[in-house]
Amino acid sequence: MKKLIAILFIAAAMLARTFAVPVAYNESSEENWSSISYRNVPILKILDSKDGYVVLYQKGKIGTGRTVIPKSWNRGNPENPRKLKVRFLPGGKLKSFMTVVKKDGEFHHVVLTVPENRNDSVWGVISYRQSVEGTDKETLEDLEY
C-alpha cells in the first residue's frame, strides 16, 4: 500500500512538472508585467482633523516623515474614484501601516490600515478649530521612504 501511494505521488509530481510553465519565462515576458506598484510604510501616529488626516510615518528606519491626507478623498463617483480607503486591523496583532499605490508611476490611491478603536495610541486629534494645510491637494506628493 505504501509503495502504491509513493508511486502515485511521484507520477503526480512528474505530470505537474511536465505541464508547468517556467517562472523565468513569466517574469521576462512584458505582457505579464503590471502597471501598478505599491509601497507599505509604517505609521507612527495619525492626527485626525476636521478636513483630513495628518500621518506621521517611519522613513526606512531612519527618521520620520509627515503627510496630509484629505478626508474628501474617501468620497468617490464613477468619474473620480476614491483615492483613500481606511481599513481596520484584524485582532490587534499587526501594527498600523499606510499603502501608497501607484499606477504607471503616478499616484493612484492610498490605503490606511489602522486600529478601529480611536482610543488606541496611534490615534490623536488636532483641534477642529485649527485648519490643516494641504487638505485641498489632488495627489499625494512623493513620500520620502
Tens digit of pLDDT for each residue in 70-101? 998 888 788 888 999 999 988 767 889 999 99
pLDDT tens, 5-44?
Answer: 888 888 888 877 777 766 655 566 677 678 899 999 999 9
Please tell me the predicted confidence (pLDDT) of residue 24.
58
Give dist(CA 142, CA 144) in Å, integer. Answer: 7
Query: Would you state the cell numbers that stand for residue 91, as one nine-digit string?
Result: 485582532
Please tell me the predicted confidence (pLDDT) of residue 134.
82
More confident call, 105 vs 18: 105
Percentage of the residues of the chain whose pLDDT score is greater than 70: 92
- C-alpha distances out from residue 115 to 43, 69, 100, 141, 144, Å: 11, 17, 18, 25, 24
Q: What is the pTM of this model?
A: 0.74
More confident call, 124 vs 136: 124
Please tell me the predicted confidence (pLDDT) of residue 60.
83
CA-wise closest residue to 138 among 48, 69, 76: 69
Mean pLDDT of the chain: 85
Give the end-to-end CA distance of the chain in Å, rounded to a whole number. 58
Those residues with Cβ within 8 angstroms of residue 128's Cβ, 6 or more apart along the chain or in another chain: 49, 50
